[in-house]
Structure 1
């Protein structure tokens, strides 16, 4: 299980959500084996005054990936590198234009389809 939150400026990113989502989800499927149909992405587009980051440009994106615990440090490194490469190639972003955080929680802390996450039978592996 993984959910993605993307923060950026509305005046820059509005209308481009699908493009950004496709790039990030492609990385999740290739790096972590997430099924293509398991896409849960939220875009929190903010007015210029609501995203204060003086050392970053107007195209700055913050990407948060919320997920079950279980991925190895190597798998996390592979995903981070893949996202930076995909956003760089696909959107022309420099490394300084993107920050990514992986937030892991125990499966039991998730409630999905009426069950705690540790009681779910997933069709994909989390331990990669």
Structure 2
């Protein structure tokens, strides 16, 4: 399971939300072997006067928070980061300096989905990659 929250300034993020969603899905598939049909993307728009970011960042600054079942290797996480950085820069003209990514991992038993605890489900994808 994976849920992704994408935070950014409304006027910059809203017009590209479909492309951002497509890129994140591609990256999750490639790095985490995540099923292509599994999309849980939440766009959280921030007004420009309410978003304070580090010096050297621009109004394109985008924060990505990924909640996922625990079990992916450090290598697969690093691959995910690199894919996102590359594709955001190539396809959206958002530089790596303007992208922050955090992965929050929790055990399967901490997720309640499809009427069960996730550790009781049969998944159609691997977690330990």
Q: TM-score normalised to the size of structure 1?
A: 0.96
Count of matched residue positions in the alignment of Structure 1 and Structure 2: 128
Any stretches of 5+ residues in structure 2 without a counterpart? none
Question: What CA RMSD, in Å, does the superposition of the two structures yield over aligned residues?
Answer: 0.9
User: Hey, what does 2:112 align to over in structure 1?
Assistant: 111
SS at match of 2:100: strand
1: CA distance, partners of 2:72 / 2:49: 36
Q: Which runs of 4+ in 1 moved over 3 A?
A: none
Aligned to 1:20: 20
Separation in structure 2 between the aligned mates of residue 108 and residue 51 of structure 1, nearest angstrom: 34
Q: Which moved more, 1:8-17 or 1:104-113?
A: 8-17
Q: TM-score, normalised by structure 2?
A: 0.96
Alignment of 1:24-103 (within 5 A): 24-55=24-55, 56-103=57-104
Distance in 1 (CA, whole Å) between partners of 2:128 and 2:65 is 19
| Alpha-carbon distance in 1 for matches of 2:54, 2:98 | 12
Q: How big is each residue's C-alpha offset from its partner over 1:42-74, in whole Å with a ceiling of 9 and x where there is no partner?
A: 000110122111422100000011100000111
**Shift, 1:15, TM fit:** 2.6
Aligned to 1:5: 5
